[in-house]
């Protein structure tokens, strides 16, 4: 191959330059590419220097070719520079909009509502006792699950429109989480050891009652489950919840869906007995209704109002404070104390 042909092959560097130019993202990188190709010791200068080794005719022809390539490269270079200059200018404008001398603004991180925190706290205690938590709940219920299957007769005052939110003659907003007892018993996945937290609705509204509030229902059905087991669960739960030993009494009461039925009271710091929850042995009629053999299985149930437990825990005397969204009030409750 003669010198002119070899030199012609070496002039095919425009495409290489364009490929390198596409990869450039900053002005600093672009300047390095400029030096590489257009500098005093750059690729184009070296090509021009090599023209002296060609004869006069080839020197003129290849000189024109190099000059045309250089002009094309410069056009591509300037186009890229304009794009990067504009990008850099936009960055500076954004930075100019920020006064870095100003003090920082703290973003306040939200927290869960104290009712939610107490529900999680109650769940954690019962989980440690081996209970499962059922979070699925039926807040719109029919009267079979809310009343009939729980032995609540048609003449019971809880069925009246002045006490209960009815949609029609059959559907209502549930008045208790006990409806979940029936849903779980109906599955016949024995043994059962669950708690069910959730919202319930009644037409009450004063400093100790709300039209919407929260309950936690507990249910155990197992071989040999007895009243002593129920007492152990309740006593140990209250001890864990209030984080102290206290006087507890079980007072005979009545619930349509349990027999034996009791109210549970605790002794306050002012030496007064105060009711905290209700409980009892699952009524045999409920076991018969779902063909559960009473000779093998027995059970107990309990239920408590979450807001009432919070009021006792913190010594709050007005339930309505939890629903007013008063930030000063809600910020007092630190979730870390529960865990």
Domain residues of the chain, as ranges? 3-96, 114-338
> Does the pLDDT at position 85 exceed 50?
yes
Q: How large is the average pLDDT for residues 221-238?
A: 95
Q: Work out the mean pLDDT of the chain and round it to a whole number.
A: 84
Q: Tell me the average pLDDT across 26-31.
A: 85
Tell me which of 42-46, 73-77, 139-143 is least confident: 42-46
% of the chain surpassing 90 pLDDT: 39
Residue 93 is predicted with a pLDDT of 64
- Average confidence (pLDDT) over 77-105: 76
Task: Kindly report, residue by residue over 114-130, the tens digit of the pLDDT.
Answer: 888 899 999 999 999 99
Q: Is the pLDDT of residue 2 over 60?
A: no
pLDDT at 334: 59
User: What does the pLDDT read at residue 197?
Assistant: 94
Taking only the tens place, the pLDDT of each residue in 142-174 is 999 999 999 898 888 888 888 889 999 899 999
Of 46 and 274, which is predicted with more confidence?
Answer: 274
Rounded average pLDDT over 243-256: 89
Q: Check residue 6 and give its pLDDT.
A: 52
Bond into 191 cis (ω within 30): yes
Q: Which CATH architecture describes the domain 114-338?
A: 2-Layer Sandwich (3.30)
Which pLDDT belongs to residue 230? 96
Find the mean pLDDT for residues 171-189: 91
Better-scored residue on pLDDT, 49 or 120:
120
Question: What is the predicted pLDDT for the residue at 83?
Answer: 86
CB 44 within 8 A of CB 70: yes
d(CA 195, CA 135) in angstroms, rounded, equals: 9
* Range in 33-47, 51-65, 297-311 with the lowest mean pLDDT: 51-65
Of 5-14, 115-124, 153-162, 215-224, least confident by mean pLDDT is 5-14
pLDDT (0 to 100) of residue 252: 94
Average pLDDT over residues 77-96: 78
pLDDT interval class at 339 (50, 70, 90) = very low
* Model confidence, pTM: 0.66
């Amino acid at each position: 191959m003669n010198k002119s042909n070899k030199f012609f092959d070496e002039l095919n560097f425009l495409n290489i330059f364009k490929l390198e130019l596409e990869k450039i993202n900053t002005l600093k990188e672009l300047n390095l590419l400029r030096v590489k190709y257009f500098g005093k010791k750059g690729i184009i200068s070296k090509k021009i220097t090599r023209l002296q080794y060609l004869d006069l005719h080839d020197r003129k022809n290849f000189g024109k070719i190099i000059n045309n390539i250089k002009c094309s490269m410069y056009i591509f270079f300037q186009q890229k520079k304009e794009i990067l200059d504009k990008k850099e200018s936009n960055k500076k404008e954004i930075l100019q909009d920020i006064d870095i001398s100003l003090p920082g603004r703290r973003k306040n991180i939200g927290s869960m509502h104290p009712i939610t925190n107490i529900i999680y706290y109650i769940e954690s205690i019962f989980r440690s006792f081996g209970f499962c938590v059922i979070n699925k709940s039926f807040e719109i219920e029919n009267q079979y699950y809310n009343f009939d299957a729980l032995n609540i007769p048609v003449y019971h005052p809880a069925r009246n429109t002045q006490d209960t939110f009815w949609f029609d003659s059959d559907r209502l907003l549930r008045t208790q989480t006990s409806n979940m007892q029936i849903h779980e018993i109906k599955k016949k996945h024995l043994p059962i050891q669950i708690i069910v937290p959730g919202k319930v609705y009644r037409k009450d509204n004063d400093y100790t009652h709300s039209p919407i509030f929260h309950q936690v229902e507990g249910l155990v059905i197992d071989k040999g489950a007895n009243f002593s087991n129920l007492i152990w669960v309740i006593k140990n739960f209250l001890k864990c919840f209030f984080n102290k030993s206290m006087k507890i009494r079980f007072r005979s009461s009545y619930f349509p869906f349990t027999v034996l039925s009791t109210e549970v009271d605790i002794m306050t710091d002012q030496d007064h007995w105060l009711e905290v929850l209700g409980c009892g042995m699952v009524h045999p009629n409920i076991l018969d209704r779902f063909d559960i053999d009473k000779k093998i299985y027995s059970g107990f149930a309990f239920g408590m109002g979450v807001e009432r437990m919070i009021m006792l825990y913190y010594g709050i005397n007005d339930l309505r404070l939890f629903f007013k969204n008063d930030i000063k009030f809600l910020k007092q409750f630190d979730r870390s104390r529960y865990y």
